[in-house]
Structure 1
Amino acid sequence: MGHDINGLHHVGHIVQDMDQAMERYRRLGFTVTAPAYPVMPTTPGGPVEPFGVANAHVHFPRGFVELVAVIGDTGRMPGDARPIPLQVPEDKVPGLRAAIRATAANITSFLQRFQGVHIMIADTPDIDRVAARLTADGVSHGGVHDIQRPVETATGTRMEPARYLEVSDPDLPPGRVPEGRIGFAENTPAEAPQDRRHTDHPNGSTGLVECVLCVADTALPELERRYGSYFGRARHGRVTRFDRANVTVVAASALADLLPGERPAVLPAFVAYAVAVRDLSATEKLLRSNGIPVTRTGPEEMSVPTSAALGVAIIFRQDG
């Protein structure tokens, strides 16, 4: 179980203001792509309009961090935002708009809990195998979806196929579990690699290497059972680690040992994610020069607090 997982595909940071988030991430030393947002006509043959959610990305050679903001009634977008026309047969338009509205409603509900990370997607080379495994284990999910997603290459943005699956809690809206949105994604072999310009970060980060979930102490046994169904065998110690997915689960009473000073607003919550960096000392120097507070949490690790990173602690860890 869990041998069909290759670590993290991405985490999703839900933000109130995309302009503010992009500015903050750039101060943190990340290269951030221009945000994109979907547009499509409200009526057949009518003018297109933005709707749903806008997102921007921090890319690594494997995996990414996604910044997500709901498009409000005003439809206001950051100045460098790129519209992505959604082209589907006319008879499919109502269903697609309904699906995107449902996604936006979920994102809005996440933001009402707190600004921060609410999405964690694992990478898989075989999503059909994952779906069959989850079904056999009695895990509720929405099935495998085939989509087109924008991919930035050296020659511009193009739509490439991808496949994903979302885990569901029967007592919550579709695509929801208590901590947010959890799923699996498989990129097709035909997908073009990302433009390497977007994976060169001033802070020297080289990859997304961990996501940290904090839960109430009393909820820890059930959470470990549930995540065992998703991600396979865990490694127990001071915290519980699901190594194949690069997911760490920590009880609230032990969080201060892992991330000093952090207190999640609600539980359960994704409280942090970690990136590897080429030179931790150089990263620390850049962050401090940009006015970003850091705390050394070990000889080869430091963290930026949630107060400085829009609701999520970011761990920087020496690569290798």
Structure 2
Amino acid sequence: MLHKIEGLDHTLVGVADLEQARVQYERLGFTITPRGSHIGWGTANYCIMFDEDYIELLGIVAPSKESNGLDAQLEDRGEGMLGLAFASSDPEETVRSMKLAGLEPTGPHDLKRKLELPEGDVIPEFKLIRFPTQGLSKRGLFICHHLTPEMIREPEWLEHANGSQYIQSVVVLVEDPASLIPHYTQLCGSLNVTTTDATITVSVGRLNLIFVKEQDLDLLFPGLFISDELPELPHILSMSIAVESLSDTADYLKKKDVAVQDISSGRALRIQPKDACGVLLEFVEA
């Protein structure tokens, strides 16, 4: 892809109670990593690791310290998806290439966090690239490069009782999907941006980032009903996880008494936002 962007790095879910979120996602069948904390900030996380991407559950553990806007986000919009990060294989080249394309990146910025392992803390290191984006909140999309990837993926962290393999899609509600075509073509290349009358889809590695109007949601989610009122747009609504066997996933969730909606004659399993920290979560077969 353009700008040394290789695919999805991770998605971020803002949660009101980090320990409760860990329990909630463990009940859904995910293996949770040891806790991490952001050095100098009041935020911490638990991660759900896959081979190439992961989900970050992000919460505030020290309210008196800087939360990078998470406190305001939770106050204004409640729990749910905060954004996502694309992966770069060469952050310096990514910045250079994006500048030439007029995308106005800043960085790469250095970031470290503490990972609390049983045998002692380790310090994973990253480089982040930020840039003005469209169709998402101000910090809803950035680019990440891992300097110490071996620290964040232990083999046992990659095995999930629900059979999850990777993040297949993220759906964002926007007012005008068509207006986003020039920006994402510039960022990801024309071959990776496809359109229909109702949506635009940006393909980034195995991820499909889908932008859609709220009134067209039924095209993507037949029979969708959400009890809670949706926040103002743009709003990251959902995340679909590819699993090894949808029937095995269904059996696991049934054993855990998780409320599940079976969609389109067994083509997907849907979890309501109230049961997944504000995320409309779907499991689909890989």
Q: TM-score, normalised by structure 2?
A: 0.84
Q: 2:180 aligns with which of 223, 247, 252?
A: 223
Aligned partner of 1:79 in structure 2 is none
3-state secondary structure, aligned to 2:4: coil
What is the CA deviation profile of residues 119-170 of structure 1, one whole-angstrom value per residue up to 9, with x for unaligned ones? Answer: 2001121222322232223323332112334468896642233211122369
Sort the Cα spacing of 1:36 and 1:244 in 2 relative to 1 into closer, same or farther, 3 A: closer
Following superposition, the deviation at residue 230 of structure 1 comes to 2.7
Q: Runs of 5+ in structure 1 lacking a partner?
A: 41-50, 75-99, 171-175
Following superposition, the deviation at residue 56 of structure 1 comes to 0.8
3-state secondary structure, aligned to 1:266: coil
Sort the Cα spacing of 1:222 and 1:21 in 2 relative to 1 into closer, same or farther, 3 A: same
Following superposition, the deviation at residue 183 of structure 1 comes to 0.5
3-state secondary structure, aligned to 2:106: coil
Aligned partner of 2:154 in structure 1 is 195
Sort the Cα spacing of 1:224 and 1:152 in 2 relative to 1 into closer, same or farther, 3 A: farther
1:304 partnered with 2:271: yes
| Larger-gyration structure (1/2) | 1
Aligned partner of 1:289 in structure 2 is 255
RMSD (CA atoms): 2.8
Following superposition, the deviation at residue 14 of structure 1 comes to 0.2
Q: 1:113 aligns with which of 37, 58, 77?
A: 77
1:4 partnered with 2:4: yes
Aligned partner of 1:62 in structure 2 is 52
Aligned partner of 1:91 in structure 2 is none
Following superposition, the deviation at residue 279 of structure 1 comes to 0.9
1:243 partnered with 2:209: no
**Equivalent pair of 2:35/2:115 in contact (CA under 8 Å):** no
In 2, Cα distance between the equivalents of 1:190 and 1:115?
A: 28
Following superposition of structure 1 onto structure 2, how do residues 110-189 of structure 1 map, counting pairs within 5 Å?
Answer: 110-111=73-74, 112-150=76-114, 157-168=121-132, 178=137, 180-188=139-147
One-letter code of the match for 1:224?
A: I
One-letter code of the match for 2:146?
A: N
Aligned partner of 1:96 in structure 2 is none
Following superposition, the deviation at residue 117 of structure 1 comes to 0.5
Following superposition, the deviation at residue 275 of structure 1 comes to 1.4
Following superposition of structure 1 onto structure 2, how do residues 259-278 of structure 1 map, counting pairs within 5 Å?
Answer: 259=221, 260-262=224-226, 264-278=230-244
In the comparison of the two structures, how many residue pairs are matched?
A: 275
Following superposition, the deviation at residue 197 of structure 1 comes to 1.0
In 2, Cα distance between the equivalents of 1:39 and 1:150?
A: 7
Q: Runs of 5+ in structure 2 lacking a partner?
A: none
Q: TM-score, normalised by structure 1?
A: 0.76
Sort the Cα spacing of 1:140 and 1:62 in 2 relative to 1 into closer, same or farther, 3 A: same
What is the CA deviation profile of residues 12-31 of structure 1, one whole-angstrom value per residue up to 9, with x for unaligned ones? Answer: 10000112211110111111
Following superposition, the deviation at residue 108 of structure 1 comes to 1.8
Give aligned-pair identity as a percent: 22
Following superposition, the deviation at residue 198 of structure 1 comes to 1.0
Following superposition, the deviation at residue 210 of structure 1 comes to 2.0
